[in-house]
Amino acid sequence: MYSILKKRFLAPDICQMEVLAPRIASSAQPGQFLIVRVDDMGERVPLTICDYDSVTGSVTIVTQQVGASSRKICALEEGDAFTDFAGPLGMPSDFIHEKEEVLQGKKYLFIAGGLGTAPVYPQVKYLHKKGAHVEVIIGAKTRNLVIMEEEMRQVAREVYVCTDDGSYGFKGLVTAKLKELMDSGHTYDQAVAIGPMIMMKFVTLTAKEYNLPLTVSLNTLMVDGTGMCGACRVTVGGQTKFACVDGPEFDAYQVDFDEAMRRQGMYKPQEQEADHKCNIGLRNG
């Protein structure tokens, strides 16, 4: 059993947990994910790793309450435990294969949309330790949905916060902030975008205007996390790939985003039905 050491809400419906999982904490790398199950009858839920500490043996996850399984996860309290907490899974970020002296001479830009800020954090933290120059754009609909800003400021050279409604930071989408930075003369060796699929699609279109190398994470497509279910099948560079075993990170310019978004919506009716049943169960429980 994997005990929950700490729990807090970063924003309405967005829950952060530190879980005791020493083996994962000692072997996890930026870009990877894990599979959790609340109980023996629970669904396998893939979650990207937000942070890990090999000294304390803790792994941090961030979950947004959007469906039945995520609501069950967020209903757990400190002292409760997950039945399964398996990982690390997936391919780590490409930059972990770079030598430290190479990373020290590089400049990275991360574009994080909503919950995507959580998987961006361990990547920025890793690059910061290696001496790379890292800047981050954090996007959210409104101020109270901005997460992990302070944590990010501790490891990034610059953090730009954007809100759709202008309630905090830059008023506008992350793509508008990206254009502003590029048009003002900022240059980057590599950009990484993690967030909603539609956001990553338009970040890709924007970055292409500036010939900016871009990586995206397709973690939101994953269901089973092993490649067997086929739910995260996507076309990358004209070839069929699986986000969970071949990714979750890919060259953005090779991804068929329209196909990925169609696949993402395949199970909406089932998800809505399960969420309705879960809400009834939580109210009656």
Residue 97's nearest CA partner among 30, 194, 197 is: 30
How high is the pLDDT of residue 18?
Answer: 98
68 CB-side CA count, 13 A: 17
Phi-psi region of 24 (alpha: psi -120 to 50; beta: other; left: phi over 0): alpha
Distance CA 154, CA 135 (A): 11
- Provide mean pLDDT across the span 38-67: 93
- The yes-or-no verdict on residue 273 having pLDDT over 50 is no
Q: What is the pLDDT of residues 135-168, one digit of tens each?
A: 999 999 999 999 999 999 999 999 999 999 999 9
Residue 8 · residue 16 · CB < 8 Å: yes
pLDDT tens track for 246-261: 999 999 999 999 999 9
**Taking 60 as the threshold, does the pLDDT of residue 267 lie above it?**
no
Q: Average pLDDT over the chain, rounded to whole?
A: 91
Domains delineated in the chain? 2-89 (2.40.30.10), 94-216 (3.40.50.80)
According to the model, what pLDDT value does residue 1 have? Answer: 81
d(CA 116, CA 219): 9
